[in-house]
Amino acid sequence: MAQIVLKDVKKSYTKDVLVIHGVDVTIADGEFIVIVGPSGCGKSTLLRMIAGLEQITAGTISIAGGVVNDVEPKDRNIAMVFQNYALYPHMTVYENMSYGLRIRRMSKAEIDQRVQRAAKILELGQLLARKPRELSGGQRQRVAMGRAIVREPAAFLFDEPLSNLDAKLRVQMRLEIQKLHRDLRTTSIFVTHDQVEAMTLADRMIVMNLGVVEQIGRPIDVYDDPASLFVAGFIGSPAMNFLPGRRAGDEVDVGEGVRVPLPEELRGRAGEAVTVGVRPEHLVIAGGSGPTFSLKVDTVEALGADSMLHCALGANALVVRVDGHVTPEPGTSIAVSAMPDKTFFFDTASGKRL
């Protein structure tokens, strides 16, 4: 296992255009970090720089105390699990898992010991003689992880390994990856565009947008205390509701006669554009402590334990999460209030949290 440290790591493909804007993070020995963000945000590029598959433009990357900027990927003592499994189709599961060890000329006894141990961890013992074409997607992904485990690396790097699986298998594989990390405690970096995977797997997450790190923190802290409009909208399902408005005295006027009180520390500077954010579960149907306003129900998404009420406040769409037994008819109106201590305010121009 190893600590991984990134100091002001940058990447550009042309002279003046950065695709990674100065990443600083220390990943503790044995920590599970998830890099999350939309397609094109730079998360896979950052992972590939850690792996040595992409050259960095500036900064330093250290693994286990040593700077690896100029170290070849094979000498960084890391193992990578890819999105497409990358298994050799003509080899058996055993041969796929042992291939890297054979290249390193390890003894047959040591190779067999490592493969059998990994197969036991991943429940692949009955599949060692099969070829990849005889396996399901989930089994192939376990073989890819097994091939990484047998190397006993300082760190695992996962590049969207679950994106090719169906919804049920993704849930199962998330649980298996959690168990694997709990058993091995190997430093791990996991890249995904799926915020559910990030929330459920990470010790800490790195939220990226357009090559910039927007926020680093524990999943629950990022969810409860987003640093920007982007983070607030990206993390959480359904996404946070946003109401654009302007300061009006000690309140934000969001239109339709609705004014949201500002916390005392944010009052003043009249006229500035402010976006009010509140999560669907923090909009309470009648009886809340905040100001009450009326929403028109457009559609009801019944999910069993919960229902999502898709509503409108003028031109703004909002979602209200309620108990599954609360199912107002589309076209009717409901009175809601936002929990004051769960209401967020963002500078509309910069997107930063006030």
- Same domain for 13 and 42, yes or no, is yes
**Residue 100 belongs to domain with CATH number:** 3.40.50.300
- Same domain for 208 and 333, yes or no, is no
- Contact criterion met (CB below 8 Å) for 2 and 187: yes
Q: Note if the pTM is more than 0.75.
A: yes
pLDDT tens per residue, the chain (354 residues)?
689 999 999 999 887 788 999 999 999 999 999 999 998 899 999 999 999 999 999 999 999 989 999 999 988 999 988 888 788 999 999 999 999 899 888 999 999 999 999 898 888 889 999 999 999 888 888 898 898 889 889 999 999 888 878 888 888 888 888 988 988 899 999 999 998 899 999 999 999 999 999 999 999 999 999 999 999 999 988 899 999 999 888 888 888 888 888 888 877 666 689 999 999 999 988 765 667 888 888 998 888 888 899 998 888 899 999 888 877 888 888 888 888 889 999 999 999 998
CA nearest 345: which of 251, 281, 271, 270?
Answer: 251
- Contact criterion met (CB below 8 Å) for 61 and 6: yes
Domain stop point among 194, 218, 234: 234
CA–CA separation, 320 vs 336, rounded Å? Answer: 9
Domain stop point among 234, 249, 282: 234
In angstroms, the Cα distances linking 276 to 224, 252, 263, 270, 273 are 15, 8, 12, 15, 10
- Same domain for 54 and 102, yes or no, is yes
- Contact criterion met (CB below 8 Å) for 330 and 298: yes
Torsion of CA 120, 125, 130, 133, to 10 degrees: -50
Q: Which domain holds residue 99?
A: 4-234
3-class DSSP string for the chain: CCCEEEEEEEEEEECCEEEEEEEEEEECCCCEEEEECCCCCCHHHHHHHHHCCCCCCEEEEEECCEECCCCCHHHCCEEEECCCCCCCCCCCHHHHHHHHHHHCCCCHHHHHHHHHHHHHHCCCHHHCCCCHHHCCHHHHHHHHHHHHHCCCCCEEEEECCCCCCCHHHHHHHHHHHHHHHHHHCCEEEEEECCHHHHHHHCCEEEEEECCEEEEEECHHHHHHCCCEHHHHHHCCCCCCEEEEEEEECCEEEEECCEEEECCHHHCCCCCCEEEEEECHHHEEECCCCCCEEEEEEEEEEECCCEEEEEEEECCEEEEEEEECCCCCCCCCEEEEEECHHHEEEEECCCCEEC
Structure tokens of 51?
Answer: 């792996």
CB atoms closer than 10 angstroms to residue 225:
14
Question: What total of structural domains would you count in the chain?
Answer: 2
- Same domain for 229 and 108, yes or no, is yes
- Same domain for 142 and 273, yes or no, is no
Sheet holding 78-81: strands in order across? 78-81, 155-159, 187-192, 32-36, 204-209, 212-217
353 found inside a domain: no
21: CB partners within 8 A, 6+ apart: 10, 211, 212, 213
CB atoms closer than 10 angstroms to residue 338:
27
352 found inside a domain: no
- Same domain for 195 and 250, yes or no, is no
Domain stop point among 207, 234, 261: 234
